[in-house]
Protein backbone atom coordinates (compact mmCIF):
# COMPACT_ATOMS: atom_id res chain seq x y z
CA UNK A 1 0.00 0.00 0.00
CA UNK A 2 1.32 3.42 -0.97
CA UNK A 3 1.44 5.84 1.93
CA UNK A 4 0.51 9.48 1.25
CA UNK A 5 3.49 11.77 0.79
CA UNK A 6 3.90 14.98 2.82
CA UNK A 7 3.19 16.90 -0.39
CA UNK A 8 -0.11 15.06 -1.01
CA UNK A 9 -1.15 15.55 2.62
CA UNK A 10 -0.41 19.26 2.36
CA UNK A 11 -2.44 19.50 -0.87
CA UNK A 12 -5.33 17.69 0.82
CA UNK A 13 -5.20 20.04 3.80
CA UNK A 14 -5.27 23.05 1.47
CA UNK A 15 -8.24 21.61 -0.42
CA UNK A 16 -10.16 20.99 2.83
CA UNK A 17 -9.40 24.53 4.02
CA UNK A 18 -10.63 25.89 0.68
CA UNK A 19 -13.85 23.88 0.94
CA UNK A 20 -14.44 25.16 4.48
CA UNK A 21 -13.98 28.74 3.29
CA UNK A 22 -16.41 28.16 0.42
CA UNK A 23 -19.01 26.75 2.81
CA UNK A 24 -18.57 29.72 5.14
CA UNK A 25 -18.96 32.14 2.21
CA UNK A 26 -22.11 30.35 1.05
CA UNK A 27 -23.56 30.51 4.57
CA UNK A 28 -22.92 34.28 4.74
CA UNK A 29 -24.39 34.72 1.26
CA UNK A 30 -27.51 32.76 2.23
CA UNK A 31 -27.95 34.87 5.37
CA UNK A 32 -27.48 38.07 3.34
CA UNK A 33 -30.11 36.99 0.81
CA UNK A 34 -32.57 36.14 3.59
CA UNK A 35 -31.95 39.52 5.22
CA UNK A 36 -32.40 41.24 1.86
CA UNK A 37 -35.73 39.49 1.30
CA UNK A 38 -36.92 40.49 4.77
CA UNK A 39 -35.87 44.11 4.24
CA UNK A 40 -37.57 44.42 0.83
CA UNK A 41 -40.73 42.79 2.15
CA UNK A 42 -40.86 45.29 5.02
CA UNK A 43 -40.31 48.22 2.65
CA UNK A 44 -43.14 47.01 0.42
CA UNK A 45 -45.46 46.92 3.44
CA UNK A 46 -44.36 50.41 4.51
CA UNK A 47 -45.03 51.76 1.02
CA UNK A 48 -48.64 50.63 1.34
CA UNK A 49 -49.27 52.48 4.59
CA UNK A 50 -47.00 55.55 4.57
CA UNK A 51 -45.41 58.09 2.24
CA UNK A 52 -42.82 60.86 2.25
CA UNK A 53 -40.85 61.57 5.41
CA UNK A 54 -42.76 59.01 7.46
CA UNK A 55 -41.90 56.21 5.03
CA UNK A 56 -38.27 57.35 4.85
CA UNK A 57 -37.98 57.37 8.63
CA UNK A 58 -39.58 53.92 8.82
CA UNK A 59 -37.12 52.51 6.28
CA UNK A 60 -34.12 53.92 8.16
CA UNK A 61 -35.38 52.47 11.43
CA UNK A 62 -35.94 49.09 9.76
CA UNK A 63 -32.38 49.09 8.39
CA UNK A 64 -30.86 49.90 11.79
CA UNK A 65 -32.97 47.30 13.60
CA UNK A 66 -32.32 44.50 11.11
CA UNK A 67 -28.56 45.08 10.96
CA UNK A 68 -28.32 45.48 14.74
CA UNK A 69 -30.10 42.17 15.20
CA UNK A 70 -27.98 40.35 12.60
CA UNK A 71 -24.67 41.53 14.07
CA UNK A 72 -25.86 41.45 17.69
CA UNK A 73 -24.83 45.08 18.00
CA UNK A 74 -26.00 47.07 21.01
CA UNK A 75 -26.67 50.36 19.19
CA UNK A 76 -26.76 51.75 15.67
CA UNK A 77 -26.62 55.13 13.95
CA UNK A 78 -27.49 55.75 10.30
CA UNK A 79 -26.84 58.83 8.17
CA UNK A 80 -28.50 59.34 4.78
CA UNK A 81 -26.75 61.67 2.31
CA UNK A 82 -27.79 63.48 -0.86
CA UNK A 83 -25.73 63.77 -4.04
CA UNK A 84 -23.73 66.66 -2.56
CA UNK A 85 -22.71 64.67 0.50
CA UNK A 86 -25.06 66.55 2.83
CA UNK A 87 -26.89 64.63 5.57
CA UNK A 88 -30.61 64.73 4.80
CA UNK A 89 -31.89 62.30 7.44
CA UNK A 90 -30.40 60.43 10.36
CA UNK A 91 -30.99 57.97 13.18
CA UNK A 92 -28.71 58.47 16.18
CA UNK A 93 -27.90 55.77 18.72
CA UNK A 94 -28.46 58.26 21.56
CA UNK A 95 -32.10 58.71 20.48
CA UNK A 96 -34.04 61.98 20.06
CA UNK A 97 -31.69 64.97 20.22
CA UNK A 98 -32.06 68.73 19.93
CA UNK A 99 -31.43 69.92 16.37
CA UNK A 100 -28.37 72.03 17.25
CA UNK A 101 -26.75 69.20 19.21
CA UNK A 102 -27.60 66.69 16.50
CA UNK A 103 -26.02 68.85 13.79
CA UNK A 104 -22.90 69.29 15.94
CA UNK A 105 -22.53 65.56 16.63
CA UNK A 106 -22.96 64.59 12.98
CA UNK A 107 -20.56 67.30 11.85
CA UNK A 108 -17.87 66.11 14.27
CA UNK A 109 -18.30 62.46 13.27
CA UNK A 110 -18.02 63.27 9.55
CA UNK A 111 -15.12 65.62 10.08
CA UNK A 112 -12.96 63.77 12.62
CA UNK A 113 -14.59 60.41 13.37
CA UNK A 114 -15.11 56.93 11.98
CA UNK A 115 -18.02 57.97 9.77
CA UNK A 116 -15.82 60.56 8.07
CA UNK A 117 -13.09 57.97 7.50
CA UNK A 118 -15.60 55.61 5.86
CA UNK A 119 -17.05 58.46 3.75
CA UNK A 120 -13.58 59.38 2.47
CA UNK A 121 -12.31 55.87 1.75
CA UNK A 122 -15.66 54.29 0.74
CA UNK A 123 -15.00 51.04 2.57
CA UNK A 124 -16.08 49.15 5.67
CA UNK A 125 -14.12 49.84 8.86
CA UNK A 126 -13.83 47.77 12.04
CA UNK A 127 -12.65 49.16 15.35
CA UNK A 128 -11.92 46.32 17.77
CA UNK A 129 -10.90 48.60 20.65
CA UNK A 130 -12.17 52.19 20.70
CA UNK A 131 -9.60 53.11 23.38
CA UNK A 132 -6.79 52.43 20.91
CA UNK A 133 -8.23 53.90 17.69
CA UNK A 134 -8.26 57.65 17.17
CA UNK A 135 -11.04 57.38 14.58
CA UNK A 136 -13.52 56.84 17.42
CA UNK A 137 -14.90 59.95 19.11
CA UNK A 138 -16.45 59.89 22.59
CA UNK A 139 -18.76 62.80 23.38
CA UNK A 140 -19.74 64.29 26.71
CA UNK A 141 -23.01 62.98 28.15
CA UNK A 142 -22.86 59.99 25.81
CA UNK A 143 -25.62 57.67 27.09
CA UNK A 144 -23.93 54.42 26.05
CA UNK A 145 -20.53 52.73 26.20
CA UNK A 146 -18.68 51.73 23.06
CA UNK A 147 -15.86 49.18 23.09
CA UNK A 148 -15.95 48.19 19.43
CA UNK A 149 -17.60 49.44 16.24
CA UNK A 150 -18.36 48.47 12.66
CA UNK A 151 -19.03 51.22 10.10
CA UNK A 152 -20.49 50.49 6.65
CA UNK A 153 -20.90 52.74 3.59
CA UNK A 154 -23.84 52.25 1.23
CA UNK A 155 -22.94 53.05 -2.35
CA UNK A 156 -24.64 53.31 -5.72
CA UNK A 157 -21.69 53.40 -8.07
CA UNK A 158 -19.49 56.20 -6.73
CA UNK A 159 -22.41 57.93 -4.98
CA UNK A 160 -22.45 57.58 -1.19
CA UNK A 161 -26.08 57.11 -0.09
CA UNK A 162 -25.61 56.39 3.59
CA UNK A 163 -23.31 55.43 6.46
CA UNK A 164 -24.26 52.93 9.16
CA UNK A 165 -22.34 52.64 12.44
CA UNK A 166 -22.94 49.62 14.66
CA UNK A 167 -21.52 49.60 18.19
CA UNK A 168 -21.09 47.25 21.14
CA UNK A 169 -19.85 47.94 24.68
CA UNK A 170 -17.35 45.07 24.59
CA UNK A 171 -14.00 45.07 22.79
CA UNK A 172 -13.57 42.72 19.80
CA UNK A 173 -17.29 42.15 19.30
CA UNK A 174 -17.21 42.82 15.56
CA UNK A 175 -15.28 40.38 13.38
CA UNK A 176 -14.07 40.06 9.80
CA UNK A 177 -16.92 37.58 9.18
CA UNK A 178 -19.43 40.26 10.21
CA UNK A 179 -17.72 42.76 7.91
CA UNK A 180 -17.82 40.23 5.05
CA UNK A 181 -21.51 39.63 5.69
CA UNK A 182 -22.27 43.37 5.72
CA UNK A 183 -20.29 43.71 2.50
CA UNK A 184 -22.67 41.20 0.90
CA UNK A 185 -25.77 42.78 2.46
CA UNK A 186 -24.90 46.45 1.84
CA UNK A 187 -26.01 46.55 -1.84
CA UNK A 188 -29.55 45.65 -0.74
CA UNK A 189 -29.52 48.46 1.82
CA UNK A 190 -28.23 50.86 -0.84
CA UNK A 191 -31.20 49.90 -3.04
CA UNK A 192 -33.55 50.52 -0.10
CA UNK A 193 -32.04 53.95 0.59
CA UNK A 194 -32.16 54.91 -3.08
CA UNK A 195 -35.79 53.81 -3.27
CA UNK A 196 -36.67 55.85 -0.18
CA UNK A 197 -34.85 58.91 -1.59
CA UNK A 198 -36.68 58.57 -4.92
CA UNK A 199 -40.09 58.19 -3.26
CA UNK A 200 -39.44 61.25 -1.10
CA UNK A 201 -38.49 63.27 -4.19
CA UNK A 202 -41.61 62.17 -6.05
CA UNK A 203 -43.85 63.02 -3.11
CA UNK A 204 -42.28 66.47 -2.81
CA UNK A 205 -42.81 67.29 -6.49
Each residue of 104-140: pLDDT tens digit? 888 899 999 999 999 999 999 999 999 999 999 988 7
pLDDT per residue as tens, the chain (205 positions): 555 566 665 665 666 555 556 555 656 667 667 777 777 777 777 666 666 778 888 888 889 998 998 899 999 999 999 888 888 888 888 776 777 888 888 889 999 999 999 999 999 999 999 999 999 998 877 778 899 999 999 998 889 999 999 999 999 999 998 998 899 889 888 988 888 777 766 666 5
Kindly list the domain boundaries of the chain, sorted by start residue: 6-204
Dihedral angle over CA of 17, 22, 24, 28, nearest 10: 160
Q: By C-alpha distance, which of 65, 66, 60 is closest to 194?
A: 60
Q: CB–CB of 184/152 below 8 Å?
A: no
- Say whether pTM exceeds 0.75: yes
Q: How is domain 6-204 classified at the architecture level of CATH?
A: 2-Layer Sandwich (3.30)
Helix (H, G, I), strand (E, B) or coil at 142: coil
Paired strand residues for 153? 163
Amino acid sequence: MNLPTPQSLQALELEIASLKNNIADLSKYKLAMEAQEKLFRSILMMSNVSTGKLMLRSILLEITEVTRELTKAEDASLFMLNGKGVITESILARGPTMREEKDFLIGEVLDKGLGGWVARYRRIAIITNTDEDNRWLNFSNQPYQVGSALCVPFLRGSLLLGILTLTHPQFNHFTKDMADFMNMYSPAIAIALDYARLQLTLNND
